[in-house]
Amino acid sequence: MSPPPFEVVVADHGPTVLRICRAIVGAHDAEDVWSEIFLAALAAYPRLEPDSNVRGWLATISHRKAIDQIRKSNRGPLPVKRLPEAPGRWGEPAPRDDDLWDAVASLPTKQRGAVLYHYVAGLPYAEVGQLLDSSEAAARQAAADGMRALRSTVTRETS
């Protein structure tokens, strides 16, 4: 199968990428990062092999651009592996009156990435592991930990 028109890629994946951008870099920078992601994807699109996994390819570009943005808005460049595994929020709070997105944004980096890339982007754990520079098992564990943390945070806030 040859790649679909890029318009289809934007329609199919644009909203998901925007949600992930908001959760990772904050609402303030999300649209700038989204624009960088899709412009970079558009530039590279003709070189994408037929039968490629568009979702995974786009997730890789998104992850890279989000990391770039985090580096820009933080003190200095830090490799992702050494970002503090402590709760932290990038940029401004989630844009909507949604406790959930605040909670997602507050997750430790790995857990947040695992939850977003698996549950929102829909990637299998093997690919999530690659994106996060860890193993499939570690990605699965991080997603499970993340969901557990969300459960306690969101339940506490709503009760």
Partner 1 sequence: MTFERDILTRMNQHDDESVESMARLHARLVEAASSEDLLDVAYRILDTPVGSLLLAATTVGVVRIAFDAQGHDAVLDDLARRVRPRVLRAPSRLDPAARQLDEYFSGRRHSFELPLDLQLAHGFRRLVLGRLADLDYGSTASYAAVAVALGNPKVVRAVGTACATNPVPVVVPCHRVVRSDGSAGGYVGGVEAKRALLALETANRP
Residues forming contacts to partner 1 in the complex (CB under 8 A) are: 2-8, 10, 14-16, 18-19, 31, 34-35, 38-39, 42-43, 45-46, 48, 95-96, 98, 100, 104, 119-120, 147, 150-151, 154-155
Least distance between partner 1 and beta carbon 16 (Å): 8
Cβ contact 127:151 at 8 Å: no
Cβ distance to partner 1 smaller for residue 48 or 83: 48
Task: Say which residue the tokens 């960088």 belong to.
Answer: 36
Least distance between partner 1 and beta carbon 78 (Å): 27
Least distance between partner 1 and beta carbon 136 (Å): 20
**Secondary-structure breakdown of the chain: helix, strand, coil percentages, each rounded to the nearest 5:** 70, 0, 30
Least distance between partner 1 and beta carbon 79 (Å): 27
Least distance between partner 1 and beta carbon 15 (Å): 5
Cβ distance to partner 1 smaller for residue 94 or 132: 94
Strand, coil or helix: what is 12? helix
37: its two tokens: 């992601």
Spell out the residues 6+ positions from residue 9 whose beta carbon is closer than 8 angstroms to its own: 3, 41, 45, 54, 58
Question: Rounded to an integer, what distance in angstroms lies between the CA atom of residue 31 and that of residue 25?
Answer: 10
Cβ distance to partner 1 smaller for residue 77 or 122: 122
CA angle 55–19–102, rounded 5-degree value: 140
Cβ distance to partner 1 smaller for residue 4 or 77: 4
Cβ distance to partner 1 smaller for residue 21 or 132: 21
Give the orientation angle of helix 6-25 with respect to helix 54-73, to 10 degrees. Answer: 40
